[in-house]
Amino acid sequence: MNKATIEPDCTGQFSSFFIDYIHQKPALSPFYNQFPKIENFAKIIAERKFDGKKREVLVKALLSQYSEVEDLALTKAQIEKLGLETTFTVTTGHQLNLFTGPLYFIYKIVTTINLAKKLKEAYPKFEFVPVYWMATEDHDFEEINYFKLDGKKYQWQTEQKGPVGDFKLEESFKAFMKTVAFAPSFFKEAYLSSKTLSEAVRKYVHHLFGEKGIVVVDGNDANLKRQFIPVMREDLVNETPHELVNAQTAKLDALGYKSQIFPRPINFFYMEDGLRERIEKKGTQYFVLNTDLKFEEAEFLDMVENSPEKFSPNVVLRPLYQEQILPNLAYVGGPAEVIYWLQLKSMFDHFETPFPVVMPRNFAAVLDAPTVRKIKKLNLSPQDLFMDFTDWKKEFVSKHSNVDIHLVGEKKKLQDLFDQAALSARSIDPTLESAYASAKVRATKILDQLSVKVRKAEERKFGEELDRMKAVQAYFFPGGSPQERVENFMKFYLSDNDFVEKLFGLFDPFDFDFMVLASDDK
């Protein structure tokens, strides 16, 4: 594939908040630790101390989580490295979308693996393990129960509730699998050999990226959560994260930046089989919303100590949880994730937890050979692909038309005629000048209306070219949304099994430009 790059500012795809961050606007510097540059990791590595006992817990938990996965030699070695004080992680996270969901799931992991590789080259005395954090505790099934491919939506329906990682792959899922007979065999093996959704996701991520050293982490683990008990108590009793994140958010709001996440007084869900619901406190009692469950404070805090797995952090506290159980240096995320991490630094400082480097993932769109040919015929630049179609159409027709579709010359002649007539009339009666001026405006408007008709006539003449551009943009923005947020990677993988491998050679974790990846036009 050939690669062209466009500065994020020129795409219209990113918020001013995100653009200001990647341009290192000074006003944002208090909201993060180190900017993502390879040389800045020297300081992060020097500062990142991680308790040996925590490493032991992490290694034991991961080996247990991988018990159902085969071909583990390399992954087991990666996990065992985490027991060494010279090993660090770089992490990305995502929901358990069916069949990986949208393209950017793949982009996140490729960026993270490449980051670990770049760090190893720059700091050879240390080891860097790329991590994919599975969002197994999310309970919004409607967000993850489908994928889209070539305009068609493939969706699994089930009545199961609670954390999606625990969803059983029962009869309804087996029926769903029959609708995706085209899926690669590794997907079928992962899903049909697994009891739960989280087990299946671990298996297919291992198949796709295990040889690249990826380690999949499931935070829904009692031993890992036991290390998070002090934060659980602080949140449930004192509501400290709510106060700290709100204060940080207010500072960003004062700078004109729109927030992504909004803390609650309590930022944990109560979780059991088939249940993940918010916790609220009224007086001395804790209530689990949408249930009859309620607990006195002493009883609830006793549960925190003895059953920490029943408490699930929300989006505000999940990043802190991640950083407390991993020897992590960087988090790789999309634009919205980058923004909400910057709302959290003061909370990290309070809990004396190192704040990681916040890394934007790589951004890309992939063009197939027929689309590339259309682009060449239209002589489009990469920047043109991001133009609004109506604006592009007007510019294209104006540039290629053999006539003056705006009737500029005619308007000039008409205006000169009225101006000269007005001068002659003024000598007879000065009040006639304003009448001529009004007539000139009306006549100009008539020519404006005619110019629209001329332009539309020319557009019909260029119908083939305009249809070609519509097809290009439909491919680039399926359904009006960026390709990477809609299409599943099977769109490219099914015709080229080396598709993911090629991305490793094209992605650079320290280059934040948008990439247009074009298939060879043969």
CA 332 to centroid of chain Cα atoms: 10
Q: Are residues 20 and 55 in the same domain?
A: yes
- 267 HSE (CA, 13 A, CB side): 28
**Boundary (domain end) residue, out of 362, 378, 401:** 362
Q: Are residues 156 and 104 in the same domain?
A: yes
- The span from the first CA to the last CA of the chain, in angstroms, equals 12
Lookup result for tokens 């000048």 = 433
Q: In the structure encoding, which two tokens stand for residue 78, read together?
A: 């990666």
Per-residue pLDDT in tens (0 to 9) along the chain, 522 residues: 899 999 999 999 999 999 999 999 999 999 999 999 999 999 999 999 999 999 999 999 999 999 989 889 999 999 999 999 999 999 999 999 999 999 999 999 999 999 999 999 999 999 999 999 999 999 999 999 999 999 999 999 999 999 999 999 999 999 999 999 999 999 999 999 999 999 999 999 999 999 999 999 999 999 999 999 999 999 999 999 999 999 999 999 999 999 899 999 999 999 999 999 999 999 989 999 999 999 999 999 999 999 999 999 999 999 999 999 999 999 999 999 999 999 999 999 999 999 999 999 999 999 999 999 999 999 999 999 999 988 887 887 777 655 555 555 565 665 666 666 666 676 666 766 676 677 667 776 776 676 666 566 666 667 788 888 999 999 999 999 999 999 999 999 999 999 999 999 999 999 999 999 998 755
Which domain covers residue 399, as residue numbers?
Answer: 370-480
495 φ/ψ angles, rounded to the nearest 5 degrees = -100, -10
Which is nearest to 210 in space by CA: 18, 361, 72?
72
Calculate the CA dihedral of residues 286, 289, 293, 299 and round it to 10 degrees.
Answer: -20
Q: How many domains does the chain contain in total?
A: 2
Q: Are residues 330 and 376 in the same domain?
A: no
- Residue 133 in any domain: the answer is yes
**Inter-CA distances, 274 with 151, 163, 288, 333, 393, Å:** 32, 7, 14, 29, 53
Q: Are residues 30 and 134 in the same domain?
A: yes
Q: In the structure encoding, which two tokens stand for residue 426, read together?
A: 């003024």
Calculate the CA dihedral of residues 343, 345, 350, 353 and round it to 10 degrees.
Answer: 130
Q: Are residues 159 and 203 in the same domain?
A: yes
Q: 404: which DSSP letter?
A: -
Lookup result for tokens 């239209």 = 378
Q: Is 46 helix (H, G, I), strand (E, B) or coil?
A: helix
- Residue 392 in any domain: the answer is yes
Q: Which residues contact 376 (CB under 8 A, 6 or more apart)?
A: 521
Q: Are residues 332 and 376 in the same domain?
A: no
Which is nearest to 22 in space by CA: 509, 491, 374?
509
**Boundary (domain end) residue, out of 328, 362, 396:** 362
| d(C-alpha 276, C-alpha 248), whole Å | 28
Note the pTM of the prediction, 2 decimals: 0.89
- Residue 507 in any domain: the answer is no
Q: In the structure encoding, which two tokens stand for residue 2, read together?
A: 């050939």
- Residue 377 in any domain: the answer is yes
Q: Are residues 338 and 438 in the same domain?
A: no
Q: Is 367 helix (H, G, I), strand (E, B) or coil?
A: strand
Q: Are residues 193 and 337 in the same domain?
A: yes
The domain that holds 222 is classified in CATH as: 3.40.50
- Residue 441 in any domain: the answer is yes
Q: Are residues 344 and 450 in the same domain?
A: no
Which residue type, as a one-letter code, is found at position 98?
L
| d(C-alpha 493, C-alpha 181), whole Å | 15
Which is nearest to 214 in space by CA: 14, 78, 322, 55?
78
| d(C-alpha 55, C-alpha 127), whole Å | 14
Q: Are residues 187 and 327 in the same domain?
A: yes
**Boundary (domain end) residue, out of 332, 362, 392:** 362
Q: Are residues 324 and 425 in the same domain?
A: no
Q: Are residues 54 and 145 in the same domain?
A: yes
- Residue 265 in any domain: the answer is no
- Residue 284 in any domain: the answer is no
- Residue 288 in any domain: the answer is no
Within 10 angstroms of residue 447's Cβ, the number of other Cβ atoms is: 18
Q: Which residues sit opposite 514 in a β-bridge?
A: 6, 363
Q: 238: which DSSP letter?
A: I
**Inter-CA distances, 300 with 269, 290, 306, 310, Å:** 13, 18, 10, 11
